[in-house]
Chains A and B, each alone.
Chain A
Amino acid sequence: MKFFKLCVVAVAVLVLVTASLAMAGETLDAVKKRGYLIAGVNGGVFGFSMPDDKGVWKGLDVDTARAFAAAVFGDASKVKYVPLTAVQRLPALQAKEIDVLCRNTTQTLTRETANGLNFVQVNFYDGQGFLAPKKLGIKKAQDMDGATVCVLPGTTTELNVADFYRANNMQWKPVVIEQTAELSKAFFAGRCDLLTSDLSQLAAHRAVAPNPAEYVLLPIVISKEPLAPVVRHGDDQWYDIVNWSVMALIQAEELGINSNNVHIMLKNKNPRVQRFLGVIPGMGKNLGLDDEWAYNIIKQVGNYGEIFERNVGVNTALGLERGLNAQWLKGGLMYSAPFR
């Protein structure tokens, strides 16, 4: 099953790596020729990437992938979503099964070097925490000694939690299940005392739990988790397109451009806005796209603030504050490099 899939991926890695090496512009050409973008997503985390009851993909990661399609095709719907487990995601990208990975993946040194991948601008700043039943009454780290912890295999979370217990000289027992849904089912049925993951994912799991009020996010954050879309090494043009598409989402929010006012903003006299929306041409051409690319992204997907509020914000089931993900002008870390 999993193993078979992994085998297929490994053989694909072998064959494709053998076939040719990445040339600049190769990915963009392949995507254009194919007519749609293939994005690797999680598929099981509410608010980030999950099909709704009508089978339409929704979420922050999904909207990020739609932004790439809007930039390339001028049509945000031209995306095929491939749900991947944590274990499958990096081999799938290396094997060129997907063009870009938008699957709450943490940027790390090893992944950028030994794994041959590049992370673009972060689209969600997260940290690892713990979800626990309220009745256990856990207040501090020392209360967690001897716990059984549910954790996804093949993640940075799995390593962080091991580090955390080692650093505090405490005992624990992991239960690792590859499918996110199976893992959270086991946790909510009481197989584990704690569930550990990125805080946003824990909030998402709790939102769809049978009885959310019985669970509490512990006030213990044990790591930094900058989550970003990922592309392969060796195709700088594709990297630029993906990177600057995320930047465009952030920049638009800073400039006050959103999906409702973007056509009015075309008439705005501010040269920063004009350059951004392609009224003053040049930015799109530098990326190998047309000059309406940023306009299309904002028109069809919205700016970063809209995406955040729509999928994970305070008015959704997840109810997350902007926190670190606010604009830099409002004390957050969302900061786009200048469009010029």
Chain B
Amino acid sequence: MAQEVTDSTEITTPAKIPFWYDPTKRAIIYQVVVLGMVGMIGYYLFTNTQANLERQSIATGFGFFAKEASFEIGESPIPYSAADTYARALLVGVLNTLKVAFIGIILTLILGTIIGVARLSTNWLVAKLAGVYIEVMQDIPVLLQLFFWYSISYEILPSPRQALNPFTGVFLTNRGLIFAVPEAHPAHGYMALAFLGGCVAVWALSRWAKRRQEKTGKPFPVFLVSIAILLGLPVAAWMFGGAPLKMDVPVLRGFNFQGGLTLSPEFTALLLGLVLYTAAFVAEIVRAGIQAISRGQVEAAMSMGLKPGQVLRLVILPQALRVIIPPLTSQMMNLTKNSTLAVAIGFPDFVSVANTTINQTGQAIEGVGMIMVVYLFFSLSTSAFMNWYNKRTALVER
């Protein structure tokens, strides 16, 4: 026994171990070797590609950014013409993708939550309808759904000259949904400012109400008052700005309607397809989240005298969110990534513009690299935000 003890003390003496037997040092060595190998492979690929592209006389680098794109893009949130640069064309693509992803995610969350809750409804018909929706939408590939909505939009709707006109100022044609918008007026600027001011006021109000309730136990109708503030302030600003009523009504001139605002069939079909498809998955996640909360929690809350709305808001949702958020994050990223299917139905998203750029410049490696970096950035920033939010909701746990 005594012998063994001395042995073990000898082993733990650092001076006597060669560094290749020391697990810590060995780990560091392995990591340095792996890092070096990865770096060397990367360097080899890079230099060799560079050299061979040069020998095949294929142009390299990002010099094309500053060159004139000379192709047109169907729709753009910022002014763009064929005389602009490739960099601006690609920016248009990024903004178009962001537009679809942002609006799509918001609509998906709303629709998905409604359907998820409906699936748990005690009303037999509502629950079954939600169930059928989920099963059908989940099982049809999203590309097929996109083709379906797109071909509906141009096969069924009439040409501009026979446009459907359901309400004054709204036209439904195979060129899209065209509707009247208020003509530009300085009052709109005031309204936006008033809305922002309203947001700040609502935030302050909810903090005050929370503190008051903690102190005195008296609740305050925050929700109703907030809505009144958010709606009332811009309306007041509009009246103050002279209550402009003039509308920019679309008029049929030449081939198509001029003026107003147009939602193109491509954009509508893409948004519709992505939202309806992803909402089915979100609904299942919401349902799972709600069902993860034990029945006892609800019963306890109800026996304390909370109203059903309060039970949902104060007891169920805060706990359900912890279950819901991680899979929800991946659905949000899925929606963003699926938006690349836009090329199939002609919406000029980032991939579509980048594809055209690749073909017009012939620089596939740079182009595909760019596509990867942009989507990686989208996904990482979405997940960073959601992780932050997840941490916040997770802290509610006691």
Q: How far is the CB of B270 from chain A (nearest CB, A)?
A: 12
B18 interface hit (Cβ, 8 Å): no
The stretch that binds A, out of B24-32, B98-106, B337-345, B380-388, is: B337-345
A interface residues, how many (CB within 8 angstroms): 59
As a 0/1 sequence over residues 163 to 184 of chain A, the CB contacts with chain B under 8 angstroms (1 = contact) are 1011000001111111100110
Contacts A153-B352, A189-B151; A233 near B56 (Cβ below 8 A):
yes
- Taking a contact as CB atoms under 8 Å apart, the answer to whether A114 and B255 are in contact is no
Given contacts A114-B59, A174-B73, whether A182 and B360 have CB atoms under 8 Å apart is: no
Judging by beta carbons under 8 Å apart, are B362 and A114 in contact? yes
Binary interface profile of B, 363-394, with partner A (CB < 8 Å = 1, else 0)?
11101110110000000000000000000000
Q: Is the CB of B355 within 8 A of A153?
A: yes
- B residues less than 8 Å from A113 (CB atoms): 57, 59
Residue among B52, B72, B355 making CB contact with A174, cutoff 8 Å: B72
- List the A side residues contacting B361 at CB < 8 Å: 110, 114
- From residue B16, how far is it (CB to closest CB) to chain A in Å? 48
Q: A114-B58, A162-B72 are in contact. Are A190 and B355 (CB under 8 A)?
A: no
Residue of A nearest to B156 (CB): A189
Tell me the A274-309 residues at the B interface (CB within 8 Å): none
CA distance A191 to B152 in the complex (A): 11
Complex CA distance for A165 and B102, rounded to whole angstroms: 33
A18-B45, A166-B83 known; A154 and B356 CB under 8 Å? yes
Bound CA span A168–B246, Å? 34
Q: Is A272 located at the chain interface by the 8 A CB criterion?
A: no
Which of A177, A185, A234 has the most CB atoms of chain B within a 10 A radius of its CB? A177
User: Which of chain A's residues 179-237 have a Cβ closer than 8 Å to chain B?
Assistant: 179, 182-183, 185-186, 189-191, 193, 232-234
Which chain B positions have C-beta within 8 A of A176? 74, 346, 348, 352, 356
Question: Is B49 a contact partner of A178 (Cβ separation < 8 A)?
Answer: no
Q: Is A268 an interface residue (CB 8 A)?
A: no
Partner of B154, one of A6, A21, A189: A189
Cβ–Cβ < 8 Å partners of A321 in chain B = none
**In the assembled complex, A158 has its CB within 8 A of some CB on chain B:** yes
Cβ contacts under 8 Å, A163 to chain B? 70, 82
Of A22, A87, A183, A189, which one neighbours B56 at CB under 8 angstroms?
A22
Q: Is A115 part of the binding interface, using a Cβ–Cβ cutoff of 8 Å?
A: yes
Asked if B174 lies at the interface with its beta carbon under 8 angstroms from chain A, I say: yes
Selected contact of A146 from candidates B58, B255, B362, CB within 8 Å: B255
- Taking CB atoms, residues of chain B closer than 8 Å to A91 are 358, 364
In whole angstroms, how far apart are the Cα atoms of A90 and B255 in the complex?
35
Bound-complex Cα distance A177 to B75 (A): 14
A116 at the interface (CB under 8 A from B): yes
Q: Is B159 an interface residue (CB 8 A)?
A: yes
- Assuming the contacts A94-B58, A190-B154, asked whether A159 and B143 have C-beta atoms less than 8 A apart, the reply is no
How many A-B pairs fall under 8 Å by CB? 174
A90, A136, A190, A233 interface centre (most CB from chain B within 10 Å): A190
Check B355 against A178 for contact (C-beta < 8 Å): yes
**How many chain B residues touch A (Cβ–Cβ < 8 Å)?**
57
Chain B positions within 8 Å of A111 at CB level: 362
Which one of A8-16, A24-32, A329-337 is at the B interface?
Answer: A8-16
How far does the Cβ of B143 sit from chain A's closest Cβ, in whole Å? 7
Determine if A148 and B255 form an interchain contact, defined as CB atoms under 8 angstroms apart: yes
Query: Which residues of the other chain, A, contact B154 by a CB distance below 8 angstroms?
Result: 186, 189-191
A6 touches B365 (CB 8 A): no
On whether the beta carbons of B45 and A10 are closer than 8 Å, the reply is no
> Nearest CB to that of B262 among chain A residues?
A173
Distance to closest chain B CB from A172 (angstroms): 7
Contacts of A18 in B (CB 8 A): 45, 48-49, 52
Give the Cβ gap from B304 to chain A, nearest Cβ, in Å. 53
**A14, A115, A234: the one within 8 Å of B362 (CB):** A115
Contacting residues, chain B, for A179 (C-beta < 8 A) = 344
Q: Which residues of B lie under 8 Å from residue A116 when comparing CB positions?
A: 53, 56-58, 362
- Any chain A CB within 8 A of the CB of B253? yes
Bound CA–CA A166/B71 (angstroms): 11
**Which residues of A sit under 8 angstroms from B119, Cβ to Cβ?**
none
Determine if A146 and B253 form an interchain contact, defined as CB atoms under 8 angstroms apart: yes
Evaluate whether A2 and B343 lie within 8 angstroms (CB atoms) in the complex, with A13-B364, A116-B58 already known: yes
User: B266 — nearest CB in chain A belongs to which residue?
Assistant: A175
Q: 8 closest pairs, A vs B, by CB?
A: A154-B359, A115-B362, A10-B368, A116-B58, A114-B59, A162-B82, A177-B346, A191-B154
Residues of A participating in the B interface, judged by any CB pair closer than 8 Å? 1-3, 6-7, 9-10, 13-14, 17-18, 20-22, 86-87, 90-91, 94, 110-111, 113-116, 136, 145-148, 153-155, 158-159, 161-163, 165-166, 172-179, 182-183, 185-186, 189-191, 193, 232-234
Chain B residues in the interface with A (C-beta under 8 A): 45, 48-49, 52-53, 55-59, 70-74, 81-83, 143, 147, 151, 154-155, 159, 174-175, 253-256, 258, 265-266, 340-341, 343-346, 348, 351-352, 355-356, 358-365, 367-369, 371-372
14 example contacts (A-B, Cβ-Cβ < 8 A) are as follows A1-B143, A86-B359, A111-B362, A114-B363, A153-B356, A154-B359, A158-B356, A166-B83, A177-B343, A178-B344, A178-B355, A182-B345, A182-B346, A233-B56
Other than the given A2-B355, A116-B58, A147-B254, 5 more pairs (CB < 8 A) read: A111-B362, A114-B59, A115-B362, A173-B74, A176-B352
